Amino acid sequence: MAERILVVDDMRTNAELVAGLLRNLGYDVTIALDGAAALESLRARPPDLLVSDIMMPGMDGYELCRRLRADPGTALLPVILVTSADPQTERVKGIEAGADDFLAKPVNWPELFGRVKRLLYVKSLQDEIKRWNATLEERVREQVKQLESLSRLKRFFSPPVAEAILLGGEELLKPHRREITAVFLDLRGFTAFTDRADPEEVLELLQAYHATLGHTVEEYGGTLEHFAGDGVMIFFNDPLPVDRPAERAVRMALALQNAFKPIARAWEEKLGQEVALSIGIAQGDATLGVIGFEERWEYAAIGNVPNLAARLCGSAQGGEILLDGQTERDLATLADTEPVGPLKLRGFQQPVAAFRLTALRSSAPWPSRAT
């Protein structure tokens, strides 16, 4: 599209002459016969450059230029002022008013055309910068939205999983079947503790527990399904597959037991109340996906495996980790266990084989961050 130029002069013949010559060069030219008409034309159809006479009745070229510079929308509009008065005096006034260039009458037409071309080129660069800034602002807004989404997703998933979902992996959240290792955590003595402690003390304990829990779950690549007061469900191998999910689960469980000991000691010293962490771990196929309603969604595992982990946790004493038979078999070369079953568990018709984890034989450290 042709660049738009507004020519302002109270002498129509002068305005028409300048406009005609500029049109011959391919520009789209509009005429205004005074400063007020120029401002109105600017609002209706913003130009890319303005060429204005200085000596005009009412609003002269200086005042027109000052008004343009005071308006953020036209502050950068290129302005050429033209006068028949003393060039040196008028040039200083024009610069003070904010003009970009200055020409004396009689106008040297090649000079005018050259300066018009130069200022329009400068204007095109300014417009390009504006477009880049607008694009950058949009990208920043989009990245902020992504960071907010990532922050919400991290409440449920490890950072690598959250980032994968954010980058277009919504298919990961659709209902599906997969083998997982489920871990259920519960605080023994917590109910008695809540009966004795102030609400602020209860929240302080839970916050310390959950902070330790969150860091440890992230370290081993688990998916945090939900908090239910002191009860917590975590699973491994979904929504993204991970290597050695059973080993991850057991190592995480042991790390949590160790990390919780100083918390338990601190609260026993403070209130004389014993609080300990019990853990149940089970492995097998489950149905996974997003459940809930429009205003509140959760990513959940449904089926016998998470239920079995919760029931094993309910049967564990404070400080114990109970495994189901499949988890125990997967860790046969790695873990020392002892049978504690079969256990009769609520919701299960047949007694369930269960094993107490006593130690891990492997001394090899787990990576500091899940991969």
The pLDDT value given to residue 287: 92
Q: Are strands 176-188 and 231-236 parallel, antiparallel or unpaired?
A: antiparallel
Residues 371, 361: Cα–Cα separation, whole Å: 22
Is the pLDDT at 370 greater than 50? The verdict is no
342-353 pLDDT tens trace: 999 988 889 999
More confident: 290 or 145: 290
More confident: 173 or 199: 199
The pLDDT value given to residue 170: 63
Question: Checking phi first, is residue 94 left (phi over 0); if not, alpha (psi -120 to 50) or beta?
Answer: alpha
In 3D space, the residue among 166, 129, 186 whose CA is nearest the CA of residue 322 turns out to be: 186
Structure tokens at 254: 């042991």
Specify the pTM: 0.58
Is 338 exposed, middle or buried, given 0-12, 13-18 or 19+ CB atoms closer than 10 A? exposed
- For tokens 């090899």, name the residue: 364
Residues 161, 216: Cα–Cα separation, whole Å: 16
Where do the domains of the chain lie, and which CATH numbers do they carry?
Answer: 4-131 (3.40.50.2300), 175-360 (3.30.70.1230)
Average pLDDT over residues 41-46: 91
The pLDDT value given to residue 95: 82
103-141 pLDDT tens trace: 888 888 999 899 899 999 888 888 887 787 777 777 767
Residues 90, 53: Cα–Cα separation, whole Å: 11
CA atoms within 13 A on the CB side of 322: 27
Residues 6+ apart with CB under 8 A from 327: 181, 246, 249, 250, 281, 282, 283
Average pLDDT over residues 154-173: 61
